[in-house]
Amino acid sequence: MRSLLLILGVVVSTAILSGSANAQNYPWCAVYDMGDAAYSCSFVTADQCRLSVQGTGGFCMPNNTYRASVPAKYPPRRRYQR
């Protein structure tokens, strides 16, 4: 009984402490035409995508769910006069 509680405690604590998985979001998607369409939205440039689908009968398209990260704006540096 103690070992069952120990195993249950380990499983629960691992599930709580593990971080959530985030999908990678890139601007280009490759659609591989192999019977059913398979999507891979893991390309930064259109050229990377085209090279990936070359010879497979697939094609590339812009990722309509892509949201570019907004760079942090830092305040301008103060210039000290002497």
Total count of residues recorded for the chain: 82
Strand partners, 32: 38
Domain ranges of the chain: 22-66
Structure tokens at 48: 């990377």
Per-residue pLDDT tens over the stretch 2-58:
766 656 655 555 555 554 445 567 999 999 877 777 889 999 999 999 999 998 889
Q: What is the pLDDT of residue 74?
A: 78
Q: Is the pLDDT of residue 60 over 80?
A: yes
Dist. CA 41–CA 73, nearest whole Å: 28
